[in-house]
Chains A and B, each alone.
Chain A
Amino acid sequence: MSNAVNTKKKGGFLAGTANYLDERVGVAGILKDFGRKIFPDHWSFMLGEVALYSFLVLLLSGTFLTFFFDPSMAEVHYNGVYGPLKGAPMSVAYQSTLDISFEVRGGLLMRQVHHWSALLFVAAAGLHMLRVFFTGAFRKPREINWVVGFMLFVLGMAGGFTGYSLPDDLLSGNGLRIIDGMIKGLPVIGASTSSLLFGGEFPGDEIIQRLYSLHIMIVPALILVFLVIHLFMVVIHKHTHYSGGGKKDSNIVGYPLMPVYVAKAGGFFFIVFGVIMLTASLFTINPVWNYGGYDPSPVSAGTQPDWYIGFLDGALRLTPTGLEVVADGNTWAWNIILPMLVGVGLLGVVAVYPFIEAWITGDKREHHVLDRPRNAPTRTAIGAAGVTFYAVLWAGASTDLIATNFRMSLNHVLTSMQILLLVGPVIAYWVTKRLCLSLQRKDREIVLHGHESGRIVRLPHGEYIEVHEPADEYQIWKLTDFKEYSPTLARPNAKGVITVRARIRSALSKWFFEDRVSPVGATELEAAKHHGELH
């Protein structure tokens, strides 16, 4: 065996290196297995890539920042170059943030790269989740990977929040104070949990260092672990693809990893990095020098958390007055518990949705062809309702800005939001479901009768008709290749009992699939063609 290998000598440096690596780590086998893996092409598949690449940018820029940042809460009097704060008492953490901004060349740029890529990371992860949701990519065998992705989204928010607090400026300090207030409101454990977290009373002199440990070690390490699992499962499952000619649940259609995807995805990393860099060069974000160091007494009006925390802040704001209850001498701060339950509940539903839908359909097959959102009307409508609910909570974090900018009464804005939070999702659900069913009917029209050509023809007996151009076979396939489900009845089990479980499943299946539009079948299409020829 070794004789055969030793003959490979010629070919210069590259071949030599390849040979060296293969004999030590077996790269040839890896390349053979993965080098020509097929990846499908679609713009919506880039959203996850954006999230991945912004995370890499976060690691790069964050590492740079750790070399200069000092998370100590010891008190100093500022003696740096920034004039307006000269002599002001502040923490070392805040001072070192100022120093990064004003005394390290490229420091401000890196701070802004870090902050913008954090915003982009959570945004791209969220959009990627929506893409996966609305196309049904979470169906078997990808349910677990959905949960892993969900964890990444939550960890992204955690990373964002812990990082946002580190500069120890007035804004982030008030953010921490809100967190402290929320923790204190938890039943039974509130006050002691707050004391554990802050190392005593708020704000104390520990919290920044603790958040720093979480922010630069625990959270990114967890994100890395989940990211590796997430991508590993993508390799196991292979990517999904959209319906189209030749695209089946049993195959994957696209371009090979090498060279096309290496070039496209590799190039795309540089484009994402470039967009972040461009944004960071031109647009200031979090100018902490304007806020001053943290002081529990002042606060500025019209402040906002980073966008991804908005829905939780909105939930706090939209809570009605007077929910606190004292029972048996214990304080139930429902004005804090309720919004936390709403936020956690919303995230919880997102996390388990694939399992609910899988239970309702009972479909145990593997699904690799994506749904067009219209072909799963109830799921799409549920998604729209969820997005609306989230959006109202999110907008709720800006009630004061909406009121001042549009010269409206703050009270009216808030009351409207409270109503919208309850009514909006219902409307969104209903409208979306109807839209989906209408779009499906339109698809049927196109399949059966083709596209309107705009050409009006008068027939010999005086009737006017518009000539329809038949759709081509690829479009017909795309519009008819989807899975249809029908509701089930609650059936008695082996003991002749109709269980509650069966009843619930039957009711849910009715809810999901009673209103549906079936794909056009071959017979129907034939009949329609025949009918068309009669004209």
Chain B
Amino acid sequence: MAKDPKDLAVVEAHDEHDYETGLAVIAADKLADPGIEPHRVRMTDKSVKHEKAAARQVALMFFVSILGSAFAIWAYYAFPFDGVNANSLRINTVFLGLGITLGLFGIGVGAVHWAKTLMPDAEVSEERHLTRGTEDVRAAAVEIIRLADQESGFSRRKLIRRTLYGALALFPIPAIVLFSDLGPSPKDSLRHTMWGKGKLRLTRDPDGTPIKASDVQIGSVFHVIPEGLVDLEAPDLLNEKAKAAVLLVRLDPSEITQKQRDWGYDGIVAYSKICTHVGCPVALYEQHTHHLLCPCHQSTFDLANDCAVVFGPASRPLPQLKIEVDAEGYLVAPGDFAEPVGPSFWERKA
């Protein structure tokens, strides 16, 4: 490689003592570098037959690519899908994809094969420069900065400099303030759910039909939403459901706590379905242990013991929803949960 004299000068200075070596042990009797290993001659270097074969293989690969791309275009039209028959979707995806795959692979394999068999493969060495500039260049750079400073008076004119710093520090702030309207202050929205309207019937998720106490057998689980939730519009529907979803279970009254008896009805108890860890729906109920399991992070709550945490990362029991039975025998909630549902937040206890 041709090198300009500037490079050579750098390389000569580029030895062990150019920079601090720190804790490095400088070996006094290092072995001698044998230099780059001699090039190993390939079959394609010494045999015209092999060279020609390799050239044919490369061309064949490119030809395969042409076929593949053509096939992909054909497959796009040849295999329409109707949405009714899942197989038609599968066939379209597979054949279109395989055609494009061949179109890509052919080019890739051909090019790499070309490089490996037909292009020179003797290793070449090139000198490196130090990353930093030469002393001349560094001096020139320093001079530019000095001139710029002198001409602008940047370090001399303190007032200009300091007010500029102030201005620069402050100008992004309006941009940050502008983002305040991304969302309202949460106020007390995290503390209330739709149950707070009072006297709402417990209804089935997702159809919204009310539940009679007599419908609830021991061991059965009901996924419950408040009466009227299904009539809400988006986004209120999901926002309210994300807080108000409830699990309803009937337990043997002799197995539960006094609070559960007081807040439940004849062994029927209702709990928030929103995990107190990070808010997943606690949807798995294991009947013989009375355990509720959150499928996201495996927090486990003991339904027979006020939904206390028995395992997993959650810290607080699931909040219980007080329920009663109305004149027609339907389950109703007289009011809201006594505490915020779902994941913890800073002001939760305030």
A interface list, Cβ under 8 A from B: 36-38, 41, 73-75, 80-83, 91, 101-103, 105-106, 108-109, 112, 141, 174, 177-178, 180-182, 184-192, 194-206, 210, 236-238, 244-256, 259-260, 263-264, 266-274, 277-278, 280-282, 294-303, 313, 316-324, 326, 329-331, 333, 335-336, 339, 360-366, 368, 399-400, 410-411, 414, 473-474, 476-477, 480-481, 483-488, 509, 513, 518-525
Flag whether B130 is at the interface (Cβ < 8 A): yes
Can you name 7 extra interface pairs (CB under 8 A) apart from A301-B283, A321-B311, A365-B21? A105-B76, A108-B89, A109-B97, A178-B280, A182-B343, A259-B115, A295-B238
Whether B345 contacts A190 by the Cβ 8 Å rule is yes
Whether B114 contacts A263 by the Cβ 8 Å rule is yes
Whether A186 contacts B346 by the Cβ 8 Å rule is yes
Whether A486 contacts B25 by the Cβ 8 Å rule is yes
Whether B1 contacts A36 by the Cβ 8 Å rule is yes
Per-position contact with A for B326-349: 1 when CB-CB < 8 Å, else 0? 000000000000000011111111
Whether A277 touches B101, Cβ cut-off 8 Å, given contacts A81-B83, A365-B18, A522-B30, is yes
Residue from A187, A294, A484, A522 within 8 A of B24 (CB atoms): A484
Nearest B residue to A335 via CB reads B313
Whether A255 touches B101, Cβ cut-off 8 Å, given contacts A73-B235, A264-B111, is no
Whether B104 contacts A368 by the Cβ 8 Å rule is no
Alpha-carbon separation in the docked complex, A109 to B116 (Å): 32
Nearest B residue to A102 via CB reads B83
Alpha-carbon separation in the docked complex, A180 to B98 (Å): 40
Interface centre among A186, A260, A513 (most CB of B within 10 A): A260
For residue A91, give the distance in angstroms from its CB to the closest CB of chain B: 8
B8-44, CB < 8 A from A: 11, 14-16, 18-25, 27-37
For residue A526, give the distance in angstroms from its CB to the closest CB of chain B: 9
Interface centre among A106, A198, A320 (most CB of B within 10 A): A106
Whether A330 touches B349, Cβ cut-off 8 Å, given contacts A246-B34, A297-B245, is yes
Whether B24 contacts A483 by the Cβ 8 Å rule is yes
For residue A520, give the distance in angstroms from its CB to the closest CB of chain B: 7
Alpha-carbon separation in the docked complex, A360 to B110 (Å): 48
For residue B4, give the distance in angstroms from its CB to the closest CB of chain A: 12
Q: Which residues of A contact B210 (CB under 8 A)?
A: none
Whether A303 contacts B295 by the Cβ 8 Å rule is yes
Whether A177 contacts B280 by the Cβ 8 Å rule is yes
Total number of residue pairs linking A and B with CB closer than 8 Å: 403
Whether A316 contacts B97 by the Cβ 8 Å rule is no
Whether B121 contacts A255 by the Cβ 8 Å rule is yes
Whether A329 touches B186, Cβ cut-off 8 Å, given contacts A205-B234, A299-B296, A518-B25, is no
Whether B104 contacts A277 by the Cβ 8 Å rule is yes
Q: Which residues of B contact A267 (CB under 8 A)?
A: 107-112, 114-115
For residue A137, give the distance in angstroms from its CB to the closest CB of chain B: 14
Whether A105 contacts B96 by the Cβ 8 Å rule is yes
**Residue contacts A-B, CB under 8 angstroms, 21 given:** A102-B83, A106-B96, A191-B186, A210-B182, A246-B33, A250-B128, A270-B107, A270-B111, A294-B238, A296-B242, A299-B283, A303-B295, A324-B315, A336-B278, A362-B20, A362-B23, A366-B131, A473-B34, A476-B31, A481-B33, A486-B25
For residue A322, give the distance in angstroms from its CB to the closest CB of chain B: 5
Whether B313 contacts A320 by the Cβ 8 Å rule is yes
Whether A260 touches B115, Cβ cut-off 8 Å, given contacts A246-B125, A250-B11, A255-B124, is yes
Alpha-carbon separation in the docked complex, A414 to B71 (Å): 51
Interface centre among A38, A236, A250, A485 (most CB of B within 10 A): A250
Whether A204 contacts B239 by the Cβ 8 Å rule is yes
Whether B37 contacts A474 by the Cβ 8 Å rule is yes
Whether B35 contacts A177 by the Cβ 8 Å rule is no
Q: Which residues of B contact A487 (CB under 8 A)?
A: 23
Residue from A280, A410, A519 within 8 A of B97 (CB atoms): A280
